[in-house]
Amino acid sequence: MPEPTPSGFSLPHVLGLVRAAVPPMHPAGRPIVAGAAVTAGVLRAVTGRGALAGVLATVATAAFFRSPRRVAPPLTGVALAPADGTVATIADVLPPPELDLPQVPVPRISVFLSILDVHVQRIPADGLVLAVTYRPGTFLSADLDKASEDNERNALLLATTDGHRLGVVQIAGLLARRIVCDVGAGDEVAAGETYGLIRFGSRVDTYLPAGTRITVSVGQRTVGGETALGQLPAGTGA
């Protein structure tokens, strides 16, 4: 007689653990990963070589487009990091004109994404999308400060439920050639939900209201949708 199955062990249970451990993929990555897999298969069929390299390339491509599940912290009145990465700069600057914010210096937190970071972007606070504006530009290295002004970028203006206005700008980098934004003006959004993607090394700038108490430091690692960038000013924003 077969030995009894250990308590709690079953194939569906194991498959569930595997699914929980492997992050889902952003939809924009599916055709690219499929293309990598097909190319690897064709090369293998034609040359009889490269099976391992093809598998590794396909897995690496899938890993780049990963969109891990995140849980927003139980905090109120905060702006969450819109991206995984490293805080590159924190400074009071004039917001870019496409955000249509008052032209007075406000805190800007720039997060640099290396090619190994998760590249999906997340909404920093509950609210309403007021505008989304794309601007073409250059492809300087995203870790340069002037990348905020010169590089190709996509700006999102958000009105929070507390009445504040936040700006989030996706900035293409030296290798990035594609910015994806899945929301538009009039969309209601929730803190931590994904809204876009930048392919390869890039940068995301967050423009916060004046008076925000910054809670991160330059060089700190951020987790998109979980790390609080700052405590927004009390009361209703303008």
Structural tokens at position 52: 């391992």
pTM (two decimals): 0.78
Residue 202 annotated in active site: yes
- pLDDT the model gives residue 152: 85
- pLDDT the model gives residue 62: 61
- pLDDT the model gives residue 183: 95
Give domain 78-231's CATH architecture: Distorted Sandwich (2.70)
Q: Is 14 exposed, middle or buried (0-12, 13-18, 19+ CB in 10 A)?
A: exposed
Cα-Cα-Cα-Cα dihedral of 38, 40, 43, 45, to 10°?
-70
Cα-Cα-Cα-Cα dihedral of 25, 31, 32, 36, to 10°?
110
The pLDDT tens digits along the chain (238 residues) read: 455 555 555 666 555 544 555 667 666 666 666 766 677 677 767 777 766 776 676 666 665 666 788 888 999 999 999 999 999 999 999 999 999 999 999 999 999 988 888 888 999 999 999 999 998 877 666 666 666 777 889 999 999 999 999 999 999 876 656 788 999 999 999 999 999 988 766 899 999 999 999 999 999 999 999 999 999 998 655 5
- Listed by start position, the domains of the chain span 11-64, 78-231
How far apart are alpha carbons 219 and 202 in whole angstroms? 16
- pLDDT the model gives residue 192: 93
Edge-to-edge order in the sheet of strand 228-231: 78-80, 228-231, 213-214
Catalytic residue among 114, 148, 202, 217: 202
Contact between 23 and 67 under an 8 Å Cβ cutoff? The reply is yes
- pLDDT the model gives residue 144: 65
